[in-house]
Structures are given as C-alpha cells and as structure tokens.
Structure 1
Amino acid sequence: MSTRDLFKAWEKGTGLLKKQPPLKERIGKTIYRLKIQKDKLEMAATRMQKQDRNLFEKCVEAQLAKDPIRAAMYANECAEIRKMLNIMLRAQLAIEQAILRLETVQEFGDVVAVMAPVASVVNVLKTQLSGIIPEVSYELGAIGEELNGIVAEVGEATGRSWEIEAASEEARQILEKAAFVAEQKMKEALPEIPSTEVPSKESANRKI
C-alpha cells in the first residue's frame, strides 16, 4: 500500500487502521504538541539567560572588588546554568527539525522512513531533559510513544519495516547538527565567563 493509499485508508477508517483516527490528524496533533514543548523550552531558556546575565554581572563586580572567592562562586554557577541552557537550546533546535520532517510526511513523504528517526530523536531528548525540565521530558515521552505506535502501525499496514541502524544514524545527524548550532548560538549570545582563580591558603597567609 502506497503512502497516498494509506492516507486514504486512515481518512476513511478502513482496512487494518479502521480503529485509529486519520493519519494526517494524528501527525498534525503530534506537530502541535511538539510546538508547545518547543515554546516551553524557549521561555525557560529566556529565563535562564536572564539568570546567566545576572550571575555574570555579579562575577565581574566581585572581580572588580578584588573578591576572587565570590567571583569564582558566581563563575561556577554561571557555568552550570550554561550547561543546562546548552541542552535546552539543542533540544529546541532538534524539535524544530523533527517538526519540519513531520510536516513533509503530511504532504507526501515515506511515513516509516521519516517518522522512525523523529521518534528516536524525541526519545533521546526526553532523557536529556528529565533532570532539567521534567514536564517537557514527560510530554516528550508521551509524544515518543505515539510516534513509535504510528511507525509500528504503518509498517504493519504497508508490510514495510525500517532499518533501525538507518533510523539511528539519521537521528544522530539531527542531534549533532542541533548541538553544533546550539554551541554557535551560545557563543554569539553569551559573553565568555571571566577566568577566576581562588587564592590558596598558603598565598592567603602570605598576604596576611
């Protein structure tokens, strides 16, 4: 069964997929849910950038005040925030790529070939975000299950399977591209954290 025939079968509620909503409807809802998670990531990233800016300014102030201990503390906090910010930005960019691929499926694409890598990407992002934004991670988990279900159902209905290695490779490429772009964006948007050096006890005693 071709992709076009499959769309028709789901739209009419016939064949092996008669108990499921239309394919376009399910993909459309998945795209909508992904866009919501992307928006949540954008808002969280904006809040985190404000935190970063505040900590960066405090770090600079501490350096100007000749207080290396406080400067180092703020620099470390800044570095931790940027680690989380990097993960969030990578997830946001990867979700954008996932949405673009799902939108092509709505039009003409090979459902299994396109959706299997997207499902893999979503499942990876779920794990990466679990300790940073649990609510987004949870929703991505649910979306991943839906995508896996669609891939399995379409494969059964069409008699086509997908190469797990090929899907994993495409997913890896999506994630690597997102990581590269995220790194560039962070370099452009955030100033470099000042280098800080906390004096040792010996040097502190010598000053005293």
Structure 2
Amino acid sequence: MPTKFLKNWERDEGYSVFRKVQDRIHPGPPLKERLTNSIYRIQVMRHRMEDTENRLTQKDKDMFNKCVNAQMAKQTDRAAMYANELAEIRKIAKLILRSQMALEQVELRLSTIRDFGDVAVTMAPVVGIVHAIRNQLMGVMPEVSYELGTIGETLNSLVVEAGDVTGAGYDIEASSEEATKILNEANAVAEQKMKERFPELPIAVPAAEREKARSP
C-alpha cells in the first residue's frame, strides 16, 4: 500500500503540523475510521432487519394457524384469504432474509479490507451489493433503504479516493460479476432458510400465489 495512502489510512495522534494544515484543506476522518463506521452502520441495519424478519415469522405462524382452522371449519373463502396473506408475508420475509445474507457478506468483506487494505479493488463489488439491496428494500423498509443509500455513497467515495491515491483502478465488469455472484449465493441461502423456517403453504393457496411466495 503506497505511503501516501497509509498516512490517510490510520492517523496517529502526533502527526505533523503539515498534516494538520493538509487536513484543514482536505477535512475528513481517515479512511479506516470511515470504513469502521460503515461496518457499524451495516451491523445496525442487519439487526433491524433481523427484528423485522422475526416479527414476520411470528405473524406467519399466527396466519398459518388461522388458515388451517378456517380449512377445518370448511370456510374456504376465509382460508383462501389467509393463504394469500401468507404468500405476501413470505415474499417480504424472503426479501429481507436474502438482504440480511448479502449484508453479512458485505460486512465480512469490509472487515477484511479494514484489516488488510486493498480498498480500490476489493471494495468495488461491495458498493454494487449495497446499492442493489437498497433498491430492493425501498418499498419494504424505506428507513433501512435510505441508510444503505448513504452507506453506499460513503463506500463509493472510499473506492474513488483509494484509487486516486494508489493509482489502482478496478474492472467494473468483473466487480459487477462478483456482486451478482454474492447476491445469488445470498438468495440460495435465503431459499434454504425459508424452507427450514416456514411450513408448506396450505392447499387453499392458488398455484400463482404459491409461486409468488417463492419469488423475490
């Protein structure tokens, strides 16, 4: 890692007068501090999403029981209504679960970057993942979506700044491919966890609604 980049990576308390003047011209915390702050904010978002997912799981259990009871009482229309609501709950739950899995990968990658550097190359896919999750959650968890947007902007500025200082560029296409791969892996994990946590939808659910519950 170039010396100039190292100086701005993690400051010591005794940095020179020249550095102080330089910081006044280009204010802002060191890169490592901003990266650590982004990791913390992502952890907060993950916990918030986990709380929401837990509430959805409980709501699903309650709705499932109502659907079963309605079927046993031969209340077909009511059972279908509950089943359709179940499909919608599971669609949202899967989206949130998938986003959690992807953000966990983002957090791991950022922690590695914080400890070992190589920001410009290895962080680029992370920025794409954060923006993708932000767009997916916009209509479901707007507060989390907004916060992820600001986190994405911070990470993007770190990539640009690191690239300018080190002279290291990154392959946009390769970064996009890696981001897509990570998102697909997160989706596969979410699929498995959905099967483990949620029972099969009742027979009353139309085929289209069953597919809807499985879709992102």
Deviation sequence 1:140-165 (CA, Å, 0-9, x none):
00000111111111111111111111
Report the Cα offset of residue 197 of structure 1. Answer: 6.6
Which shows bigger deviation, 68-77 or 4-13? 4-13
Residue aligned with 1:156, SS: helix
Report the Cα offset of residue 9 of structure 1. Answer: 3.2
Which residue in the other structure is 1:119 paired with?
127
* Residue 145 (structure 2) pairs with residue 137 (structure 1): yes
AA matched with 1:90: R
For 1:4 and 1:90, how far apart are their aligned partners in 2? 39
Report the Cα offset of residue 82 of structure 1. Answer: 0.3
Normalising by structure 1, we get a TM-score of: 0.89
**After superposition, where does 1:51-70 map in structure 2 within 5 Å?**
51-70=59-78
Alignment equivalent of 2:185, drawn from 165, 177, 182? 177
Report the Cα offset of residue 7 of structure 1. Answer: 2.9
For 2:105 and 2:135, how far apart are their aligned partners in 1? 18
How many residues matched?
197
More contact order relative to length (CA 8 Å, sep ≥ 6)? 2
Which residue in the other structure is 1:203 paired with?
none
Question: Are the equivalent residues in 2 in contact too, given 1:68–1:197 (CA < 8 A)?
Answer: no
Which residue in the other structure is 1:147 paired with?
155
AA matched with 1:38: R
Among all aligned residue pairs of Structure 1 and Structure 2, give the percentage whose two residues are the same amino acid: 49
Cα distance 1:48–1:28, how it changes in 2: closer, same or farther (>3 A)? same
AA matched with 2:49: L
Question: Are the equivalent residues in 1 in contact too, given 2:84–2:205 (CA < 8 A)?
Answer: no
Question: Are the equivalent residues in 2 in contact too, given 1:62–1:70 (CA < 8 A)?
Answer: yes
* Residue 115 (structure 2) pairs with residue 107 (structure 1): yes
AA matched with 2:10: E
For 2:134 and 2:178, how far apart are their aligned partners in 1? 17
Residue aligned with 1:191, SS: coil
For structure 1, the residue ranges without an aligned partner over 5 or more in a row are 199-208
For 1:173 and 1:85, how far apart are their aligned partners in 2? 21
AA matched with 1:59: C
Which residue in the other structure is 2:80 paired with?
72
Alignment equivalent of 1:191, drawn from 199, 202, 206? 199
Report the Cα offset of residue 8 of structure 1. Answer: 2.8
AA matched with 1:192: E
Question: Are the equivalent residues in 1 in contact too, given 2:83–2:205 (CA < 8 A)?
Answer: no
Question: Are the equivalent residues in 2 in contact too, given 1:3–1:108 (CA < 8 A)?
Answer: no
Question: Are the equivalent residues in 2 in contact too, given 1:90–1:179 (CA < 8 A)?
Answer: yes
AA matched with 2:7: K
Deviation sequence 1:10-46 (CA, Å, 0-9, x none):
4348589953311110100000000000000000001
Residue aligned with 2:184, SS: helix
Question: Are the equivalent residues in 1 in contact too, given 2:4–2:165 (CA < 8 A)?
Answer: no
Deviation sequence 1:56-81 (CA, Å, 0-9, x none):
00100010001111111100100001
AA matched with 1:6: F
Which residue in the other structure is 2:214 paired with?
none
Question: Are the equivalent residues in 2 in contact too, given 1:7–1:23 (CA < 8 A)?
Answer: no
Report the Cα offset of residue 137 of structure 1. Answer: 0.3
Normalising by structure 2, we get a TM-score of: 0.86
For structure 2, the residue ranges without an aligned partner over 5 or more in a row are 207-216
For 1:18 and 1:197, how far apart are their aligned partners in 2? 60
Alignment equivalent of 1:88, drawn from 96, 106, 128? 96
